[in-house]
Amino acid sequence: MNPFRTILILVAAFLAVFGEATLPVLHHWLGAQVDLLPVLMVYAALTADIATVSLLAVLGGLWFDALSANPLGISILPLFAVGFLISFRRDLILRELAFAQFVLGTTASAIVPVLSILLLLTAGKQPLLGWGSIWQWLVMTAGGAAATPFVFALFNWCDRSLGYQPRIEPGFRPDREIRRGRI
Amino acid sequence: MFRKKNYLALGAVTLLALLILSLPPRVTAHLKLTIGSLFLPLFGLANTTQQLPADLADSVLPRRELLQQIDRLRRENDQYKALAVQTAAIARENDQLRSLFGWQQQAPWKLKLANVVMRDPANWWRTVQIDLGSRDGLRENLPVLTAEGLVGRVSSVGLTRSQVVLIGDPNCHVSALVENPAHDTGIVNASGPLDTSLVDLTYLSGSASLKPGQNVFTSGLGGVFPKGIPVGQVVDSRPVEFGLYTEARVKLSANLGALEQVWVLFP
């Protein structure tokens, strides 16, 4: 487990939630705010271990719910469900391909809000829903899909620039040196 | 082994989520405020960053323009002073008439200015957070307004921040009356998730005569919002449930999409 990557993902989630709450630019233009937590969950599920996925689901969900009118803890399960399913099959996913990242970002960004709404309705809450919610869902899905390859590129750059790099073994091995005589 | 770890994590996270969801509302509210306070340093940083360009612009503003502004503000201040004197006279007259009829005296509103620090990150709620809390005397259900009209009510209070549920959210119902001869009353409800400027005025009587442009005010019924706060103007109306009652669309006076400063009203 690489703790640097886990910390980076959690810091990004914290900043993403703060940004969503304080920068309503997209909300003004498109009528919906794009949620970056599903995108981060896709990255975490493909590159980090299950502990990181769990931490992101719990902390990200709690941070999001603390700044929202959601009941506290309602966002944990949708995020974790997406992360769990991706990490379960991550050996079969070509994670380096931008298209695969795009598809996973689309799926995650589409599933998380739907699951959250279902949980809210199950809990007896009355979220603001209507025909306009379909537009909001499309914006969230498209926004998440577009952001996923950029998030992967950004994290890969951070990982290369700031993270621990494994030492590359040189081809030369002293024990295999052929010692020659004078001739 | 990897699979076992996965299932253990699944169990642990599900259990934790269910545990948090089943906590009593009071504990959850405290927990929410505690977790939300983690963002306070970032709020401070963001405020400073936003203030910086304004401060820089102020420092390079020409002296002549500042003097013009002062002159204009002085004139406005004089006008408002005259208006205040007139209003005080009207209020005295109103009090005298009320005492003649034996009606209860109207208490003057006490207002406190608050800054809107953030909006709800979820698309399915319409709430904002303001920078006043219980240490400023705020409590739940206090009305929140701007100079244009009603904004919402305080839904939860922390030490330094409070959550305001905006008009148009499913959790904010307002009893309102239309400024027409019949004074038709109805309930302001949520309209749609996209347009924040429109709300539905429901449960108006089937015979209500509504015309576009009629003003809508709070009716004072319900005990949360005092009477007479402007809500908006009627856009159109239609009969609902085979004419059993009428529903109208109301354009809100306050611009909920661009809230920066609001007034909390202490009735």
Average pLDDT for chain A: 89
Q: Is there a domain that residue A182 lies in?
A: no
Give the mean model confidence (pLDDT) for residues A24-53.
90
Measured distance CA(B38)–CA(B31) in Å, rounded: 11
User: What pLDDT shows up at residue A93?
Assistant: 82
Q: Which chain B residues are closer than 8 Å to A15 by Cβ?
A: 42
User: What pLDDT shows up at residue B224?
Assistant: 87
User: What pLDDT shows up at residue A183?
Assistant: 60
Tell me if A128 and B126 make a contact (CB, 8 A cut-off). yes
Q: Is there a domain that residue A147 lies in?
A: yes
Q: Is there a domain that residue A183 lies in?
A: no
Measured distance CA(A142)–CA(A134) in Å, rounded: 12
Tell me if A62 and B20 make a contact (CB, 8 A cut-off). yes
User: What pLDDT shows up at residue A137?
Assistant: 95
**Three-class DSSP category at B158:** coil
User: What pLDDT shows up at residue B2?
Assistant: 55
- Minimum distance, in Å, between the CA of residue B199 and any CA atom of chain A: 12
Q: Measured at the alpha carbon of residue B168, what is the angle toward residues B163 and B172, in degrees to the nearest 5?
A: 55
In sequence order, which residues have a C-beta less than 8 Å from that of residue B5 and are 6 or more positions away? A49, A50
- Minimum distance, in Å, between the CA of residue A182 and any CA atom of chain B: 57
Interface test with B, best of A67, A80, A109 (most B CBs within 10 A): A67
Q: Are A19 and A180 in contact (CB under 8 A)?
A: no
Return left, alpha or beta for B241; rule: phi > 0 is left, psi -120 to 50 is alpha, else beta: left
Q: Which residues pair with B246 in a beta bridge?
A: B204, B239
Tell me if B35 and A66 make a contact (CB, 8 A cut-off). yes
- Minimum distance, in Å, between the CA of residue B118 and any CA atom of chain A: 5
**Three-class DSSP category at B153:** strand
Q: Which chain B residues are closer than 8 Å to A116 by Cβ?
A: 122
Number of domains in chain A: 1
Tell me if A67 and B118 make a contact (CB, 8 A cut-off). yes
Enclosing H/E stretch for B236: strand B230-240
Q: Using CB atoms, which residue from B32, B42, B119 is nearest to A24?
A: B119
Quick one: closest CA in B to A127, which residue? B124
Q: Measured at the alpha carbon of residue B18, what is the angle toward residues B15 and B24, in degrees to the nearest 5?
A: 135
Q: Is the pLDDT of residue A50 over 80?
A: yes
Enclosing H/E stretch for A53: helix A50-55
Q: Using CB atoms, which residue from A21, A87, A120 is nearest to B121?
A: A21
pLDDT averaged per 10 residues, chain B (length 267): 80 93 89 86 80 80 89 94 91 88 78 90 92 90 92 90 91 90 89 85 86 91 88 90 87 89 88
Quick one: closest CA in A to B41, which residue? A18
Domains in chain B, ordered, with CATH? 2-58 (no CATH), 108-267 (2.40.10.350)
Q: Is there a domain that residue A60 lies in?
A: yes
- Minimum distance, in Å, between the CA of residue A138 and any CA atom of chain B: 12
What residue numbers bound the domain in which A149 lies? 3-161
Cα B32 off chain centre by: 21
Q: Is there a domain that residue A166 lies in?
A: no
Q: Which residues pair with B198 in a beta bridge?
A: B251
Tokens of B108: 């003057």
Torsion A39-A42-A47-A52 (CA) sign: positive
User: What pLDDT shows up at residue B107?
Assistant: 72
Tell me if B125 and A58 make a contact (CB, 8 A cut-off). no
User: What pLDDT shows up at residue B197?
Assistant: 87
Q: Using CB atoms, which residue from B35, B124, B257 is nearest to A62?
A: B35
Give the mean model confidence (pLDDT) for residues A51-68.
94
Q: Which chain B residues are closer than 8 Å to A20 by Cβ?
A: 121
DSSP string, B214-230: -EEEE--TTSSSPTT-E
Q: Is the pLDDT of residue A95 over 90?
A: no
The strand ranges marked E within B76-197 are 110-119, 127-130, 143-145, 150-157, 162-166, 174-178, 185-189
Interface test with A, best of B22, B38, B124 (most A CBs within 10 A): B124
pTM over 0.80: yes
Q: Is there a domain that residue A130 lies in?
A: yes
Q: Which chain B residues are closer than 8 Å to A25 by Cβ?
A: none
CB atoms within 10 A of CB A149: 17
Q: Are B162 and B130 in contact (CB under 8 A)?
A: yes
- Minimum distance, in Å, between the CA of residue B223 and any CA atom of chain A: 23
- Minimum distance, in Å, between the CA of residue B252 and any CA atom of chain A: 17
Give the mean model confidence (pLDDT) for residues A9-22.
93
| Interface pTM, i.e. ipTM | 0.82
Determine the angle formed by the axes of helices A37-47 and A76-88, rounding to 10 degrees.
Answer: 30
Q: Is there a domain that residue A79 lies in?
A: yes
Q: Which chain B residues are closer than 8 Å to A59 by Cβ?
A: none
Q: Is there a domain that residue A181 lies in?
A: no
